[in-house]
Amino acid sequence: MANTLYQGDLPDGLELGPVVAIDCETMGLNPHRDRLCVIQMSGGDGNAHLVQVAKGQTRAPNLCAILENPDVLKLFHYGRFDIAAMQNAFGAVTAPVYCTKIASKLVRTYTDRHGLKNLLQDLLGVDISKQQQSSDWGAPKLTKAQLDYAASDVLYLHALRDKLNARLIREGRMEMAQACFDFLPTRAGLDLAGWPEQDIFSH
Ligand code: MN
């Protein structure tokens, strides 16, 4: 199990397999204002690959090839934000996708706690620290604590998806979940295009 940090893009020829967990760290929650700083990825083998994004950087061809590859499922927790952040930075629309937060909302109807920390505790018995979440991700040199935290956000998403899929099947909500995942890149696009909070389905 190792964390590897790269500058600007993934290296040529890195194979992460058919299901890739992805998370982003940014300067804040407004994609038009707050730049993308780090993108974490894992193929589900316990290793994390972290890409530090430079200020003003607009291209990351190896990374975008994965985002846009129709044969690679991208696994997120609250993908809506990460998909918008990466589309805003690089112009790449990520698909197909799976979101553990959406899956959780469809099956864990007995709670309103759908944060990653809660999900990992409830479904996998894993404890992760969220202490570094609001640290300075724009720093030129990231700390070991930041890198470990960033990695922990992608290392358990494959196992989490397995647990959530079992629940989705049990509750007969897999098809509905899949339709939500298929719509998610469009939902992220609406965020960027000027409909961030408005529910266009409401009356
Ligand atoms: Mn994160």
Q: What is the pLDDT of residue 134?
A: 87
Q: What is the pTM of this model?
A: 0.96
Amino acid occupying residue 200:
I
Going from the Cα of 157 to the center of ligand 1, the distance in angstroms, rounded, reads 12
Q: What is the pLDDT of residue 12?
A: 98
> Please, is 179 exposed, middle or buried when counting C-beta atoms within 10 Å of its C-beta (0-12, 13-18, 19+)?
exposed
Going from the Cα of 23 to the center of ligand 1, the distance in angstroms, rounded, reads 6
Domains of the chain (ranges; CATH) run 3-193 (3.30.420.10)
**CA separation for the pair 189, 166 (Å, rounded):** 29
Going from the Cα of 1 to the center of ligand 1, the distance in angstroms, rounded, reads 18
Does residue 132 surpass a pLDDT of 90?
no
Going from the Cα of 203 to the center of ligand 1, the distance in angstroms, rounded, reads 34
pLDDT tens profile 60-87: 999 999 999 999 999 999 999 999 999 9
Q: Mean pLDDT over residues 26-53, rounded?
A: 97
Going from the Cα of 194 to the center of ligand 1, the distance in angstroms, rounded, reads 24
Going from the Cα of 120 to the center of ligand 1, the distance in angstroms, rounded, reads 14
State what percent of residues in the chain have pLDDT above 70: 100
Q: What is the pLDDT of residue 131?
A: 84
Does residue 1 surpass a pLDDT of 90?
no
